[in-house]
Structure 1
Amino acid sequence: MCSCIIDCLNCFQGKINVREIYEDGHPEQNIIYGEIIVQLYPGQSDPGKAASVQLYSSSEIDPDTGIGKLSQKIYLKNGKIEKGMHKENEVKSKRYILEFNVEPGFGRPGAFLMRNEHKHKFFLQSAFVRDPYDQIIHFECNSWIYPSNLTKKGRIFFPNRCYLPNQTPDGLVELRIEELARLRGDGTGERKEWDQIYDYDYYNDLGNPDKGLEYIRPVLGGSQSYPYPRRLRTGRPSSNHDFRTESQPESFNIDIYVPPDERFSPKKLSEFISNVIQAAGRFVMLEAKAMFKEGSSHFESFNELQQLFTTTRVQGVEERVVKILKPAVPNDLLKKIKQVIKKNPVKSPLPEIIAGNKFAWMNDDEFGRQMLSGINPTVIQCLQRFPPKSKKGVWSLIKQSDIEQNLDGLTVQEAMNQCRIFILDHHDYLMPFLSRINTEGIRAYASRTLLFLRSDNTLKLLAIELSLPSSLPRMEINRVFCPAINGTEAALWQLAKAHVLANDSSHHQLINHWLKTHAVIEPFIIATRRHLSVMHPIHRLLDPHFKDTIQVNALARSMVVNAGGILEKTLFSGPISMELSSALYKKWRFDEQSLPMDLIIRGMAIYNENLPAGVQLLFEDYPYGSDGLDIWIAIENWVTEFCSYFYKDDDSVSSDYEMQNWWSEIRNVGHGDKRNETWWYSLTTLGDIKQVLTTLIWTVSAFHAAVNFGQYMYAGYPPNRPTSCRKFIPVEGTHEFAEFLRDPDKFYFNTLPTRSEMTLSIALVEVLSRHMSDDANLGQELSPKWIDDQRIHQSFKKFAHELKEVEKKIRERNGDPKLKNRQGPANIEYELLYPGTSSNKGSDGGITGRGIPNSISV
């Protein structure tokens, strides 16, 4: 063998020169070379010779097993740490050279089996082998490999080559079927962290009856009263006090079961823990400081509130923090928090909403602009009738005379005919819940807000109606407020806007963010893993868009949306938050999650079949709509080329049994409470599959980015987006009104959430708004070898180029002074739908407000 083989084998996979490897330039039919890359988590040793690999042939079948021939075992050896400087406790990558001696006639390798006899799990990033015919076969693994004494079996990995079920190489046919059956499991038993099994369950793990009556929550999903998407089954036993509710871990635990393929990589896990510790340490230190300070539980001035974003040290705080956390936090996590506390990381970045102008958020025009280009831009809709009417037949008290003076000389009917009156409607869905919400210091209304579209396409606030339930049937208690700039009326107007924003904040978190991205997507991921082989082209297309979502959702169920979790502690909806989410799931339709359909339904666009997306916006200066449509078109073009390559006609779609099983399970199980709806696509045509996949990719990438990554920018300063209100707006002649007149500013601050609630909500949105450094943005490849097909790579390059053109358009729009909603009084450029394809390493990390990650990964 050539003397340079060792040097060649240490090269990166694509640089290995087969003519240097094989003596006299001719391949030896019984030697197959390759490489495996493993990520090493800090503090754990590498697997080394304790891990073994075997190859399956894709072309030659073993007559005894009926599957591809299996090579002899080889063990990982000669591993080398990736070149480059590594900091202490940083995740490192290690490469291992593979050399398989296979029997003559083994054929082309098509899969590999890995066993881990080591005491630790390790993270297998990727692998490749060069077959005897000089072709490289790549494997994207990205999974934790657990010790064999736990799993009792090895892990099979299939290549990045795509085959529809009827095109599968002979040696892989039975392996493909067996692997999908293994992933589905039998639906029994408690899942252990090393299990690679996907099954469904109801949201029966939100409550904790064993902790007390106040922690009882209804099971969501499986009933007409509480419909909901399904989540990943963990199989934990029932709680002691309610057999319908799953028991909870006895102590704080971030390791809720998710399959190894769905778990964070070592790099991301390290970064995520660091971000959470930073935010949690900051929160508890601020809480401890508040304990040292006598006075109100509320902030008392804007200056005091803005001190949250400065660094100050108070004697004794660190010791108090450790004392608070010690009973609830594991020792290893407490140790890390102590390290953070010593560095005193109390300073948070200054939210952009107050960075340039501390009081721009109070401006009525900024309020209107954020309905079009803030973090909840999909609620506003064109008003269809005046006055608005509830579904129970109760008419709004907003009078025509109150608003016509602000319609630029138009009558209400004329303005409606021109599609120039809009409504932010948080009324009907909230009214049934308000009697239960308005207890224990919460004071919430249902709201309707009317706005007028000026000739420059900015929105003018017209009126706010705040409503409460009445004891009389078909009656409500209503109050109407109109804009004012001076005196008592102006102070009341600011209070009215605070109540509207509290409505909008809860809707944003519970519905547009949690429900319409995180929750509704999980059944699609589970069904994909259960029914679409990793060799299926649609699995390969969707896989980057499902990265880390199941783990993120599991963490959310344990800390954010659960009983006593962060959302219940901060949102005005409190303990009924997830019931509210369930109520609005009743209205959810998958087909209406496409951007063009959503814009049509809300009256923000009209059909125009001559345009690429088939719709035309009512006005150009709707940043979410205009940027979103450009991205939607790019995704649709990419999906169309991809699907048309693998599916030649409608028959090839309807005959794909993996795809048909996938879609059937999504409709009948994953979203089983919607199984009888008639709006589901049939998925028997190429057109159907293009719409389904475009909607899925749009939802997990661009839509999620639009409602998530601007949270700290806008909600990091709580007065701009309060999450609850503690006082009703006072009525003239009452003691509360006298209190309001004595000090309107103090009354306003006492209306806002408490110090504790504000600091907790800031900590949450800071974590949620951070891009993670190992996530690729839309139009970027997680790996250059994510699919072994040059035609698809060329199509993807076209997709990436199209997104770069979208970036240029966004920069031009943001620089156009005629488009006033692109920046507004707060001078914040709209970049939440800026793809960010130019970065070589995906999302750069941090709170950038730009970049569209491929998946819901935070």
Structure 2
Amino acid sequence: MLPELFAIIRFSSESHINAYLPSETPETLRKLREEELATLRGTGTGTLNEWDRVYDYAFYNDLALPDNGPHYARPVLGGSQDLPYPRRARTSRHNTLTDPDTESRLHLFNLDIYVPRDERFGHLKFSDFLAYSLKSIAQVLLPEIRSLCDKTINEFDTFQDVLDIYEGSLKLPSPGVASQLRNLIPYELFRELVRNDGERFLKFPVPDVIKASKTAWRTDEEFSREMLAGVNPVIIRRLQEFPPVSKLDPEIYGDQNSTIKAKHLENSLDGLTIDEALENKKLYILDHHDALMPYLTRINSTTTKTYATRTLLFLQNDEQALPADLLKRGMAVPDSSSPHGLKLMIEDYPFAVDGLEIWDAIETWVTEYCNFYYKSDEMVESDTEIQSWWKEVRYQGHGDLKDRSWWPEMKTKDELIQSCTTIIWIASAFHAAVNFGQYPYAGYLPNRPTVSRRFMPEPGTPEYKELESDPELAFLKTITAQFQTLLGVSLIEVLSRHSTEEVYLGQRENPYWTCDAEPLAAFERFKQKLIEIENNIMERNKDKRLKNRNGPVQMPYTLLYPNTSDYSREGGLTGKGIPNSKDVYHDPAPDISIGWFLFLGQGYPSGRRKPND
């Protein structure tokens, strides 16, 4: 027989060899396709077991512990106009004894929670997760941790006390406590506790923000830089009216417009008036006022104290100044001559500059993929599975907001492309930008305190005298206490780590995910574009004119570095890399609803329901 008559056929259990739209599915496969959809959709009722692959929705009705008493009651998030919220994945845990509307929570160390079988961690990833999660076990070791405090129990007395948790390490629990742990937690967790591969219990790596300098984080320059290149670079917006105004209902909250006057600012505006600074797009604001004000009284009635703050910033002449979001916040203006169709108001805005390149690459890949399978708008509108998926996303995944006018109708290719691009951006690049910098920036708690325990001291009080005589001690008494710091640092270290099995944007676990040549070629172009972006980011980080790329702490901005070119699978606290999607290893917060189509380049051709990845 002639060799040219033979062809290699590769079969993958995690992929479709030939992608068929519903209308093009061969008759012999239609029943199997329908059965697969039924398996993934489930019935919406009953107990879900380890072997199931059902993706279903539920309200956030598992935040309370009503069996412990009325003090532990919590409202259900989602399902009402008062508390609208995206849905979570249904796990089918039994209801609590005292409240049939509240789903029970598992014991702290109980790992037996339903996750669709296709989403369960592999052995290596699960081992990593256990090892890093054990850092949060400190809450059962309170007596041991308290014994390490030198002067004041549960307080840091100096900044050196804070540094000691990185430069030294907390000892493994004593034999008595270790025995107690062995009785409390599963064997797998205890084994990870005593592992000898260098991941010592409660030994914290030095956060990047204090590696080069232990004091640079204190500067005003670094404070402002982190609004553009830190762990939350999506709140800052351009100030377009002065004084800042509130959108809160004055009938309920009174006049909440800012009392800041021009005289408070004009000495800091390089000779400009307020109107001139606004006209020249020099004033920016970090505004938490309206978000916090409705809850201020309730928060301040507890041991936690806070202010509904507005922080104004001035763009100085020695500095350089994602699409819809940037325009909405006034951080960019439309500009057809610019590469991405808009011009940034602050050119040295690392999150926006890198993010626009990533967005453009994703959008190009999605467009090429969609255009291969959908030749017209009519093909999108007539695709029953696309329409069912979008209806599910809108009416089930986000049912509280289903009637909002901004929902795409999903009747055109452009709506499909923009929706998929947005989903991919949020679940991959946006998440990477706000998640993997948590430990590098906030692992040193004084840089990003999680709690304020008292108000700013008033002149004439003992607290004010302490602030004058020992500002460091006054600061440490105000922010997160020692024990809570250890718990917080433990948690964000886990959330900031990449798995050793991470698959980054532009990578594939299996290169033979489809037999369609054009999607394969488009994905290769996507991969090469991301590698090009990696090089662009590294070059920008070397540009000394771009101060916000490194800042006083000398910490290069790499949170949107795709890491597509890296197949080393090293994982850990790298501070870079955009995973294909987010999962509980990275973020326990609710995810957006994710449909089957083009799931971050996975190329599922039809019917795959993934409400919460």
Same fold (TM over 0.5): yes
1:582 maps to what in 2?
none
Aligned to 2:561: 834
Check conservation: 2:149, 2:155, Cα contact below 8 A: no
Q: Distance in 1 between matches of 2:202 and 2:40?
A: 45
CA contact (8 A) 2:130 2:192 kept: no
Instruction: Choose from 109, 133, 142 the match for 1:252.
Output: 109
1:739 is displaced (CA, Å) by 4.0
The alignment status of 1:352 with 2:193, answered yes or no, reads: no
Would you tell me which structure has more strand in proportion to its own residues?
A: 1
Equivalent positions of 1:208-247 (< 5 A) are 208-247=65-104
Matches of 2:338 and 2:466, distance apart in 1: 57
Q: Is the 8 A contact 2:380 2:410 kept in 1?
A: yes
Deviations 1:451-499 (A, max 9, x none): 000113269xxxxxxxxxxxxxxxxxxxxxxxxxxxxxxxxxxxxxxxx
Question: Alpha carbon RMSD of aligned pairs, Å?
Answer: 2.3
C-alpha distance in structure 2 between counterparts of 1:850 and 1:738, whole Å: 44
One-letter code of the match for 2:242?
F
- Whole-angstrom distance in 2 between the partners of 1:431 and 1:325: 42
In structure 2, what is the equivalent of residue 672 of structure 1? 399
Question: Counterpart of 2:136 in structure 1: which amino acid?
Answer: A
Cα deviation digits, residues 351-399 of structure 1 (max 9, x gap):
1111111011110010000000001000000002111122234221222
Contact persistence 2:170–2:203 (CA under 8 A): no
Tell me which residue corresponds to 2:289: 427
1:848 to 546, 570, 574: 574
Corresponding residue number in structure 2 for 1:407: 269
Tell me the CA shift for residue 133 of structure 1. Answer: 6.7
Cα displacement (A) at 1:737? 2.4
* In structure 1, distance between residues paired with 2:555 and 2:303: 34
Q: 2:223 aligns with which of 367, 370, 380?
A: 367
- The equivalent position to 1:757 in structure 2, one of 484, 503, 524, is 484
Kindly state the Cα deviation for residue 236 of structure 1 after the two structures are TM-superposed: 2.2
Deviation at 1:343, TM superposition (A): 7.8
- Provide the secondary structure at the position in 1 that maps to 2:492: helix
Match of 1:377 in 2: 233
For the pair shown, which has the larger CA radius of gyration, 1 or 2? 1
The CA deviation at 1:738 is 3.5
Match of 1:693 in 2: 420
Gaps of 5+ in 2: 587-613
- Among residues 299, 309, 314, which one is paired with 1:447 in the alignment? 309
8 A Cα contact 2:193 2:201, kept in partner: no
In 2, distance between residues paired with 1:678 and 1:220?
A: 22
- Asked whether the equivalents of residues 137 and 159 of structure 1 are also in contact (C-alpha less than 8 Å), the reply is no
Choose 443-452 or 190-199, whichever is displaced more: 190-199
Once the two structures are TM-superposed, the CA of residue 441 in structure 1 deviates from its matched residue by: 1.9
Paired residues of 1:318 and 1:341 also in contact (CA < 8 A): no
Partner of 2:472: 745
| 1:203–1:602 Cα change, 3 Å | same
Equivalent-residue separation in structure 2 for 1:711 and 1:291 (angstroms): 28
Equivalent residues of 1:138, 1:788 under 8 A apart: no
1:766 to 477, 483, 493: 493
How far apart in 2 are the matches of 1:246 and 1:318? 36
Determine which structure has greater relative contact order: mean sequence separation of CA pairs < 8 Å that are 6+ residues apart, divided by chain length: 2
- 1:288 is matched by which residue type in structure 2? E
- The equivalent position to 2:341 in structure 1, one of 614, 625, 629, is 614
Gaps of 5+ in 1: 1-23, 28-131, 142-157, 460-594
CA distance in 1, matches of 2:188, 2:121: 19
- 1:139 aligned to 2:1? no
Q: 1:170 Cα deviation (Å)?
A: 2.2
**Correspondences of 1:240-319 after superposition (within 5 Å):** 240-249=97-106, 252-277=109-134, 279-280=135-136, 288-293=144-149, 295-296=151-152, 297-312=154-169, 317-319=173-175
- Give the conservation status (yes or no) of the 8 Å contact 1:772–1:845: yes
Q: Are the aligned partners of 1:281 and 1:337 in contact in 2 as well (CA < 8 Å)?
A: no
Task: Return the match for 1:736 from 442, 449, 463.
Answer: 463
What code does the residue aligned with 2:307 have? Y
Distance change (3 Å), C-alpha of 1:248 and 1:394:
closer
**3-state DSSP of counterpart to 2:44:** coil
Query: How far 1:255 moved relative to its partner?
Result: 2.4
* Residue 283 to residue 712, structure 1, CA distance change in 2 (3 Å): farther
Aligned in 2, Cα 1:715/1:329: closer, same or farther, shift over 3 Å? same
Using the alignment, how far apart are the partners of 2:169 and 2:120 within structure 1?
37
Give the C-alpha shift of residue 338 in structure 1.
3.8
In 1, the alpha carbon distance for the partners of 2:314 and 2:198 equals 52
CA distance in 1, matches of 2:163, 2:143: 15
Matches within 5 A, 1:384-783: 384-391=240-247, 392=250, 393-457=255-319, 595-783=322-510
DSSP 3-state at the match of 2:265: helix
1:387 maps to amino acid = P
User: Residues 212, 323 of structure 1: CA spacing in aligned structure 2 closer, same or farther, 3 A cutoff?
Assistant: farther
**Structure 1 counterpart of 2:244, which letter?**
P
Q: Deviations over 1:307-355 (max 9, x none)?
A: 00133576x8433542563564234423432446998444321111111
> 2 CA distance for matches of 1:752 and 1:313?
21
CA contact (8 A) 1:300 1:749 kept: yes
- TM-score normalized with structure 2 length: 0.89
Q: CA deviation at 1:235?
A: 2.2
Distance 1:439 1:331 in 2: 42
Q: Is 2:10–2:512's contact at 8 Å kept on the other side of the alignment?
A: no
The answer to whether the 8 A contact 1:322-1:338 is kept is: no
Contact kept in structure 2, 1:286 and 1:759, CA below 8 Å: no
State the aligned residue count. Answer: 577
- Residues 312/203 of structure 1: CA separation in 2 closer, same or farther (3 Å cut): closer
Instruction: Note closer, same or farther for the CA distance 1:313–1:425 as it changes in structure 2 (3 Å cut).
Output: closer
Kept in 2, the 8 Å contact 1:311–1:346? The answer is no
Q: Which amino acid aligns with 1:755?
A: Q
Question: 1:570 maps to what in 2?
Answer: none
Q: Once the two structures are superposed, what CA deviation does each residue of 1:124-152 show, in whole Å capped at 9, x if it has no partner? A: xxxxxxxx9745142243xxxxxxxxxxx
Secondary structure, aligned partner of 1:757: helix
* SS of residue matched to 2:290: coil
Which residue is 2:592 aligned to?
none
Q: Give the C-alpha shift of residue 716 in structure 1.
A: 0.6
Counterpart contact for 1:204–1:245, Cα < 8 Å: yes
Query: Is residue 283–residue 759 contact of structure 1 (8 Å, CA) maintained in 2?
Result: no
Matched, 1:791 2:518: yes
CA offset digits 1:621-675 (Å, max 9, x no partner): 0000001001111111111111111100111111111001110111111100011
**1:440 Cα offset (Å):** 3.7
Q: By how many angstroms is 1:289 displaced?
A: 3.4
State the AA in 1 paired with 2:481: T
- Aligned-partner Cα distance in 1 for 2:336–2:197: 59
Note the C-alpha offset of 1:175.
Answer: 0.9
- 8 Å CA contact retained: 1:369, 1:458: no
TM-score for both structures, normalised by structure 1: 0.64
Q: Which amino acid aligns with 1:350?
A: V
Inter-partner Cα distance in structure 1 for 2:198 and 2:544: 47
Q: Structure 1 pair 758/340, CA: closer, same or farther in 2 (3 Å)?
A: farther
State whether residues 368 and 458 of structure 1, in contact with CA within 8 Å, keep that contact through their aligned partners in structure 2: no
Confirm or deny: 8 A CA contact 1:740 1:747 kept in the other structure.
yes
Cα 1:685–1:272 change in 2 (3 A) is same
1:13-32 residue pairs with structure 2 within 5 A? none
Say if 2:181 is the partner of 1:325: yes
Distance 1:287 1:714 in 2: 29
Distance in structure 1 (CA, Å) of the matches to 2:143 and 2:435: 26
